[in-house]
């Protein structure tokens, strides 16, 4: 019987570079509802008049779409090559889309970021969580999300959800042991950085999950608006 590898310890938190925007990543295994919840949060931001960018990894850029095809729709990819391709996508994505949006003060919502690489390639592929994390940090110049929403669902339920989509991609076809190891690692990452992660029960109905996501994000939105107001007020003084 195949057993899941124990979750590897993540690296130490990296100091975040200041920027006027807000960087929020959504993480979790396939089928937990990331796409649905990102769309709901984007609508919430739109209703509030907040500039935002919705993007994803891999595939958030033209180059990323080509890398996504190689990773998810092609044949076998060696584990180390897989990790390097994800890092290449992330480097280009951050440089060309994420950092420019943050620099102009936008809220960036990304479907997956470096924690997915740590969980998928670092733990589930047994490449080493620390090594994979350091690779992504090097690729992105150390950019860490201000908030990471971890949608946690029972792997069996998540598997049912992905099955209803039709044709599964290469990672969605992985077995139960892989999915169990993946979930363990995501939970280990959340436990190691509670100040960044918000763990949300994705076994709930969609409206309940959305309400939890909004509650997690609102304090950061309020702090961002307060800081922007203070900056504008400071600029008006003689």
Residues placed in the known binding site for ATP:
28-35
DSSP β-bridge partners for residue 108? 23, 53
CA-wise closest residue to 58 among 94, 31, 23, 29:
94
d(CA 184, CA 86): 21
Query: 139 burial class (0-12, 13-18, 19+ CB within 10 angstroms)?
Result: buried
d(CA 58, CA 222): 30
Pull the structure tokens for residue 103.
């620099």
Task: Compute φ and ψ for 143, nearest 5 degrees.
Answer: -75, 120
d(CA 117, CA 132): 7
Look-up: residue for tokens 């670092």? 122
Pull the structure tokens for residue 137.
């940090």
Pull the structure tokens for residue 17.
């570079």
Contact 118, 108 (CB under 8 A): no
Q: Which residues are annotated as a binding site?
A: 28-35
What's 71's DSSP letter? I
Pull the structure tokens for residue 32.
């937990």
């Amino acid at each position: 019987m195949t057993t899941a590898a124990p979750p590897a310890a993540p690296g130490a938190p990296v100091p975040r570079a200041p920027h006027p925007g807000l960087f929020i990543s959504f993480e979790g295994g396939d089928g937990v509802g990331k796409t649905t919840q990102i769309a709901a949060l984007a609508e919430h931001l739109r209703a509030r008049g907040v500039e935002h960018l919705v993007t994803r990894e891999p595939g958030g850029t033209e180059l990323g779409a080509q890398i996504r095809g190689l990773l998810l729709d092609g044949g076998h990819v060696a584990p180390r090559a897989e990790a390097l391709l994800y890092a290449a996508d992330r480097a280009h994505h951050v440089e060309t889309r994420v950092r420019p949006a943050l620099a102009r003060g936008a809220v960036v919502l990304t479907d997956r970021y470096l924690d997915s690489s740590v969980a998928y390639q670092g733990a589930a592929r047994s490449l080493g969580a620390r090594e994979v994390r350091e690779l992504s940090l090097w690729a992105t110049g150390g950019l860490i999300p201000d908030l990471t929403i971890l949608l946690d669902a029972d792997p069996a339920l998540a598997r049912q959800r992905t099955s209803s989509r039709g044709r599964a991609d290469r990672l969605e076809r992985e077995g139960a042991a892989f999915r169990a190891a993946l979930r363990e690692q995501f939970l280990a990452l959340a436990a190691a950085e509670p100040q960044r992660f918000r763990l949300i029960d994705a076994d709930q109905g969609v409206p309940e999950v959305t309400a939890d996501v909004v509650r997690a994000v609102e304090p950061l939105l309020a702090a961002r608006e307060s800081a922007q107001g203070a900056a504008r007020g400071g600029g008006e003084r003689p």
